[in-house]
Amino acid sequence: MFRYFKYVFFRKPLLEEKDIMKKFLIVGLGNIGNEYVETRHNIGFKILDALADKEDFSFETRKLGDIATFKLKGRSVLCLKPSTYMNRSGKALKYWMDKEKIALENVLVITDDINLEFGTLRLKTKGSDGGHNGLKDIQNVLQSNKYNRFRFGVGADFGKGKQVDYVLGEWGETEKTAVKERLEKSTELIKSFVLAGAAITMNQFNGT
């Protein structure tokens, strides 16, 4: 009898840990409001919308953001578009990560990056905020820079002191056409991250 209860006592946490590792949180950064929909800073929202179209799921407004869940080969994927505005992105990320008991290594943050040429995709597992206010807040909330981030290059075609206007500006006409193709590639990167992990995904997609 003692051996039986000992077996049950140790086995249950292992099952729970296994279940946790099958849950993922994908956070697309952006600002809420119609005036921001087509801006460069909202590429995180745009990529998640493209993923929703591809995987046939829809978002609903919940606490601190729009939320959607879909299944991918046995994995449960929670997608979040924070409603806290860019500068408070960490609050929404931490709330849903804790609520759903999702391991930090299974969190992926999608953001724009002026330090990459337009359309360049890059996944990193750690690093600085690069001056990005959304990443800066996430780092402050998590008290760590060791989290996965998917950077989408928006280029730096702006003059001195015009960075804010540029990232909050809308895509140019030539960019709009090119973005559609990059969105397809971006959804594949996300699925690869969930199914194959960060290391394999970086080798396959970084710089493409």
Two structure tokens written together for 84: 């806290």
Q: Considering the candidates 40, 41, 132, 151, report the single residue annotated as catalytic.
A: 41
- Sketch the domain layout of the chain as residue ranges: 23-205
User: How confident is the model over 30-48, as pLDDT tens digits?
Assistant: 999 999 999 999 999 999 9
User: How confident is the model over 17-27, as pLDDT tens digits?
Assistant: 566 679 999 99
Two structure tokens written together for 97: 């990560």
User: How confident is the model over 61-92, as pLDDT tens digits?
Assistant: 999 999 999 999 999 999 999 999 999 999 99
The larger pLDDT score, comparing residue 131 to residue 54, is at 54
Q: Regarding the domain delimited by 23-205, which CATH topology (the fold level of the hierarchy) does it fall under?
A: Rossmann fold (3.40.50)
Residues comprising the binding site? Answer: 36, 85, 87, 133
Contact 121, 185 (CB under 8 A): yes
pTM for this predicted structure: 0.89
Q: What is the dihedral of CA 15, 17, 22, 27, to 10 degrees?
A: 150
Q: What sign for the dihedral angle of Cα 60, 194, 189, 198?
A: positive
The predicted structure's pLDDT at residue 5? 44
**Does residue 41 have an active-site annotation?**
yes
Cα distance between residue 86 and residue 139, in whole Å? 13
